[in-house]
Structure formats: C-alpha cells, structure tokens
Amino acid sequence: MTARRRRLLNVVFAVLIGGSLYDIVLDREHWPFSQYPMFAGGWHESTFTWLRVFGVTADAREFPLDANRYVAPFDQSRLPKALRRMLEDPQRSNRLDEALGSVLARYQELASEGVHHGPPLAALRLYELEWTIDAAATNVDNPDRRRLIAEIRAP
C-alpha cells in the first residue's frame, strides 16, 4: 500500500471515529455517526402505551387509521410521536385539534384520489392505548386500556 493511500485511509478512519465520538459525547444525531437510540436499549416496563388515531363512520363504527395509505405522507411511526409532543408541550397542545383536522383532511383527500377505499368519516378520535406486554403478542389487537384524548368532527 502506498503512503498516500495509507494517509487517506487514516483520515477516513479519523473522521468516522471522531464523528462517532462527537455524537456519543454530546448525545447528538448526525448520520452516519448516530448512536441509533432505537436500538440502544431494551424495554423493561410491563406495559406499553401508544397513541392511535381512529376514524369514526356516520353509524359510529370506529376503525384504526393504522395503515399509511390512510394518512400519507404522515406515517405510523412519526404521527403518534408528533401528537405526543403536542400533548406534552403546553405551547403546542392548542395545536392538537388543528393537527387532527389535517389528518382528517388528508384521509378525505386520499380517498377522493382513490389511494384508499376507506369509508367516509364523520369524526376522528385520538386514543391513548395501553397494553400489558405479552411475549407472544397475542393481545396486539386488544389493548388493555383505551383513553379518549381528543375528538374532532368532520365539517
């Protein structure tokens, strides 16, 4: 290996190691140096809580808007987290109805474009769902607790 190539590789390794150390020490997220917090720890609680948006039909049937096709470009990993931040931050909590209104409008727009064939909605409800952790996930569709957080009616 030539001396020039060795120097180049040393610079590349120094940048990768230095960037990783920077993100670890300052607890930052800069790809590709991220510590990937989603994989950095284990779940030790006996319960799991998650926000989920439900559509409500004119005959009061509820169904979860748990497929991205219902609310794209929103998705099931980011939408609940954004709604949770609004609930936890007093300065954002007044925007929750506005955010849910946007989700409802997006659902209706995607239906009119034929992206999904969900039923027309009369309302949208945001629930906080809680499950007792089951190793076999047999209760994935049946949470132990449902708490209504917010509801908006379709115009």
Which pLDDT belongs to residue 32?
76
84 Cβ contact partners less than 8 Å away, ≥ 6 residues apart:
51
pTM across the whole model? 0.73
pLDDT digits (tens, 9 = 90+) for 47-73: 999 999 999 999 999 999 999 999 999
pLDDT digits (tens, 9 = 90+) for 66-125: 999 999 998 888 899 999 989 888 776 678 889 999 999 999 999 999 999 999 999 999
Helices (H) and strands (E) in the chain, counts: 4, 4
48 Cβ contact partners less than 8 Å away, ≥ 6 residues apart:
130, 131, 133
What are phi and psi for residue 132, nearest 5 degrees?
-85, 130
CB 52 within 8 A of CB 125: no
Which pLDDT belongs to residue 91?
74
Higher-pLDDT residue of 75 and 41 is 75
Which pLDDT belongs to residue 10?
95
Q: In 3-state terms, what secondary structure has residue 120?
A: coil
Q: In 3-state terms, what secondary structure has residue 1?
A: coil
Average pLDDT value for residue range 10-20: 91
Q: Where are the domains of the chain?
A: 3-39, 47-153
Which pLDDT belongs to residue 92?
65
